[in-house]
Amino acid sequence: MKKRKIVVALGGNAIQTGDASAEAQQRALDETANYLAEMIDSGAELIITHGNGPQVGNLMIQQKEADSPKTPAMPLETCVSMTQGMIGYWMQNALDKALKAKGINKHAATVITRVAVHSDDEAFRNPTKPIGPFYSEDEAKELMNSQNGDIVFKEDAGRGWRRVVPSPIPVSILEYDIINQLVENGHIVIAAGGGGVPVLEEDHTICGVDAVIDKDFAACKLAELVQADELIILTGVDYVAVDYLKPTEKQLKHVTTEELKGYIKEKQFAEGSMLPKVKAALQFAEIKRGNKTIITSLQQAKEALKGNAGTVVEQA
């Protein structure tokens, strides 16, 4: 029986829970890996993607504070690759432990992934992607003034102010064939971490660009290129909801792409949190009939595979 090839996009809460220390993030990943191991045990072939917003933001701060002629700060796209390796390493260790506990003889491999974008993407003129820690409005304005406007902060869904950077749309993933070969040979792959390293392909050269690609859109593009059966987007809630936190709140358990477009027009989903996930879910479901996207929590992932949990997005 053919196994289901699934791209899993992990939300930030799967890695960081408020404590930014390496030890705390590794503990969070130990718990995350247990849920992923359950999915693997049920017969799924996983390609795992993850966010890196807090990690890359913190790394940029460290780079800036240590900047000197002897230790020059690394550019944003290089910091994205650094956090891909860091989180991938932690996740590989966590998965090895969880899989061994279940008697599953598999290992994970991290692929440092480059994601091609267009140089004329509107995102480079309008930065929107939040990275790094939260600040008060006063703190954010003080930081912007101190950098002479070179960095931009915006309010993030009522949770505080965060630095925002360009978030261009992914148009291709350079390593997708390598990733697919690894999966076809029975390996678990961690790829497109933090949305992948954004690169431009021009004049037969590849160069990085300062940006952070949304990890859900990168996961969608990866799922398309490897011809995955499903895209599962894991976040902090069991279901997508309309009229969220209102007396009329309604959980969406099965929604068509056309219904979802209507909810987007009604502005039902917050721009900094649920909207990118919903748009990525919609995009993958519309690539071809039969594609399915599920949005749910990490805790409900195994039940979602059985069809018992989560918001399922499909064409009518």
Which residues are known to be catalytic?
12-13, 129, 215, 277
Burial class (CB in 10 A: 0-12, 13-18, 19+), 196: buried
**Among the listed residues 192, 136, 261, the one whose alpha carbon sits nearest the alpha carbon of residue 8:** 192
Cα dihedral sign, 121-127-128-133 = positive
How does strand 114-116 pair with strand 108-111?
A: unpaired
End-to-end distance of the chain based on CA atoms, in angstroms? 27
Sorted by sequence, the CB contacts under 8 Å of residue 146 that are 6+ apart come out as none
Taking residue 92's Cβ as centre, other Cβ atoms within 10 Å add up to 18
Q: What φ, ψ does residue 252 adopt, rounded to 5°?
A: -100, 115
Cβ-Cβ contacts under 8 Å for 209 (sequence gap 6 or more): 77, 117, 119, 168, 198, 199, 200
Q: Which of 179, 177, 203, 174 is nearest to 191 (CA)?
A: 179
Instruction: Specify which residues 200 forms β-bridges with.
Output: 207
Q: Residue 33: what are its φ and ψ, rounded to 5°?
A: -60, -30
d(CA 196, CA 209): 11
CA 251 to chain centre: 23
Q: Which residues pair with 230 in a beta bridge?
A: 6, 292
Indicate the residue type of 257.
T
- Give the number of other CB atoms < 10 A from CB of residue 211: 24
